[in-house]
């Protein structure tokens, strides 16, 4: 079998991993870490909850499917005709799991030995779906209960409702699991159709990190991978306006202190442009309202936030948002103060000394993370699906300047494009 092999190396870090384009169509990434005691493997498909509209070479037009089907598929793949997959992993001693996010589904394991045996299991069961209408009907009840339980979580409700404020049409506004109504439309035939579309090896990646042998892993891949033709998969999203859908949403739940999330809707990007914007926005959020900032400490001193307050940069295919949130006795006052701080920084600029401290800190944290096989595996998968290389984020952090931040800040931090979601106590 002919393979395309490439070594991806970073001289600054003194690290490298191997990329292989397998004849089956699968992208394989292997990061050999000498002396590591654990191995992690991620087998992922670029298929998440937002991918509800798609087209392949076999379709005359785009197909629409119910929300929540990617998460439903993840649940069902762990069952095969003979046994539960976890029973197979129990024999190798591996810890196995899976997750579905807004834009990917990943099956994974972590182990201290017998990684090749566990890899056989991983590659085998993900490629062998088994659904019947009876098992689908049963799963609808299970996932329906899961959805209702999630709706009882104040923090999750506040977060999802924020996305509903920010996005008018993009499916990122819908919970990953879908709704009770949407999953009721799923049947076995539809699951098989989505499986054949998105679990095509040309739309997937395998990432392995640890004290492993590249040739041994490729031998397992040769034995297990079932070649498939490229389906010329296209995904599509509804047109999304630049402005937010609405400014505020409020829900009453059983909480003692209001929970809130504030989001700034930013222009979506792709590939290395996305990476650059994400790294810059992460710096900006830390400089604006991170724990080292004067602004954060002023909010704390005024009793407007507590230690639950945090920030994140949330992005993917067609969406990009800077988010902060936590608990507050007056969430709207927090939002007013954030708007004022954004306008102040636009006038006065960033604290250059704090930026240099943060830059060293962020680089150091990421460097330390390379001591984890799990982190290395996740880095390769994220990079593979977003269109860059695993070392690019570290290089981006090292090369970012304060002028880069100013440019992204002026483009992304529009106070007219902010929304707030509040979950407050019953009145």
Question: Tens of pLDDT along 5-27?
Answer: 999 999 999 999 999 999 999 99
CATH 3.30.830.10 maps onto the chain at 4-235, 248-425
The catalytic site residues sit at 74
Q: Over 70: is that where the pLDDT of 100 sits?
A: yes
Whole-number average pLDDT of the chain: 96
Percent of the chain with pLDDT over 70: 100
Query: At 84, is the pLDDT very low, low, confident or very high (cuts 50, 70, 90)?
Result: confident
Distance CA 189, CA 129 (A): 12
Predicted local distance difference test score (pLDDT) of residue 4: 86
How would residue 79 be classed by pLDDT, with cut points 50, 70 and 90? Answer: confident
pLDDT at 306 over 90: yes
Q: What is the pLDDT of residues 148-173, one digit of tens each?
A: 998 999 999 999 999 999 999 999 99
pLDDT, mean of residues 43-66: 96
Query: Mean pLDDT, to the nearest integer, of 310-331?
Result: 98
Selected residue with higher pLDDT from 81 and 36:
36
* pLDDT at residue 80 is higher than 90: no
**Residues 105-136 pLDDT 10s:** 999 999 999 999 999 999 999 999 998 889 89
Question: 167-225 pLDDT, tens per residue?
Answer: 999 999 999 999 999 999 999 999 999 999 999 999 999 999 999 999 999 999 999 99
pLDDT of residue 354: 96
Distance set, CA 265 to CA 28, 79, 119 (Å): 34, 39, 40
For domain 4-235, the question of CATH label 3.30.830.10 is answered with yes
Pick the CATH number of 248-425 from 3.90.1150.10, 3.30.830.10, 3.30.310.10, 3.40.640.10: 3.30.830.10
Looking at residue 357, its pLDDT comes to 96
pLDDT of residue 28: 98
pLDDT band for position 273 (50/70/90)? Answer: very high
Q: What is the pLDDT of residues 367-396, one digit of tens each?
A: 999 999 999 999 999 999 999 999 999 999
pLDDT surpassing 80 at residue 81: no
Q: Please determine, for residue 1, whether its predicted confidence score (pLDDT) is greater than 60.
A: no
Mean pLDDT along residues 257-284: 97
Calpha distance 303→102 (Å, rounded): 34
> Does residue 290 carry a pLDDT above 70?
yes
pTM for this model (two decimals): 0.96
Question: What are 285-290's contacts with CB under 8 Å, separation 24+?
Answer: 285/311, 285/312, 285/313, 285/322, 285/324, 286/311, 286/358, 286/362, 287/345, 287/350, 287/351, 287/354, 287/355, 287/358, 287/405, 288/338, 288/341, 288/342, 288/345, 289/324, 289/338, 289/341, 290/358
């Amino acid at each position: 079998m002919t393979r395309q092999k490439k070594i991806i190396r970073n001289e600054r870090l003194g690290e490298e991993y191997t990329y292989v384009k397998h004849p089956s169509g699968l992208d394989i990434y292997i990061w050999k870490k000498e002396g590591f005691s654990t191995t992690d493997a991620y087998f992922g498909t670029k298929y998440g909850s937002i991918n509800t509209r798609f087209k392949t070479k076999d379709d005359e037009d785009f197909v629409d499917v119910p929300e929540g089907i990617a998460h439903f598929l993840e649940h069902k793949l762990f069952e095969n005709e003979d046994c539960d997959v976890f029973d197979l992993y129990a024999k190798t001693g591996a810890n196995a799991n899976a997750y579905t996010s807004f834009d990917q589904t990943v099956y994974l394991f972590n182990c201290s030995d017998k990684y090749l045996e566990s890899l056989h299991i991983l590659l085998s069961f993900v490629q062998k779906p088994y659904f019947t209408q009876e098992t689908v009907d049963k799963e609808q009840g299970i996932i329906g209960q899961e959805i209702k339980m999630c709706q009882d979580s104040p923090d999750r409700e506040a977060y999802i409702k924020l996305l509903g404020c920010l996005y008018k049409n993009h499916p990122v506004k819908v919970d990953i699991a879908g709704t009770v109504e949407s999953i009721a439309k799923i049947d076995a035939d539809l699951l098989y159709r989505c499986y054949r579309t998105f679990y095509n090896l040309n739309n997937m990646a395998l990432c392995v990190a640890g004290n492993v042998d590249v040739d041994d892993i490729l031998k397992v891949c040769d034995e297990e991978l079932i070649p498939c033709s490229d389906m010329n998969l296209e995904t599509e999203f509804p047109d999304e306006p630049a402005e937010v859908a609405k400014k505020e949403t409020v829900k009453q739940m059983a909480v003692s202190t209001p929970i809130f999330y504030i989001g700034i809707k930013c222009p979506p990007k792709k590939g290395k442009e996305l990476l650059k914007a994400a790294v810059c926005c992460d710096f900006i959020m830390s400089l604006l309202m991170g724990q080292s900032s004067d602004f954060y400490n002023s909010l704390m001193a005024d009793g407007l936030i507590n230690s639950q307050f945090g920030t994140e940069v949330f992005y993917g295919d067609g969406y990009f948002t800077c988010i902060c949130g936590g608990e507050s006795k007056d969430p709207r006052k927090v939002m007013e103060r954030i708007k004022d701080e954004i306008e102040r920084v636009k006038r006065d600029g960033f604290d250059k000394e704090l930026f240099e401290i943060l830059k060293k800190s962020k680089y150091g944290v990421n460097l330390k993370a390379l001591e984890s096989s799990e982190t290395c595996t996740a880095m390769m998968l994220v990079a593979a699906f977003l269109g860059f290389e695993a070392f690019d984020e570290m290089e981006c952090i090292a090369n970012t300047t304060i002028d880069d931040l100013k440019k992204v800040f002026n483009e992304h931090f529009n106070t007219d494009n902010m929304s707030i979601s509040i979950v407050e106590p019953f009145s």
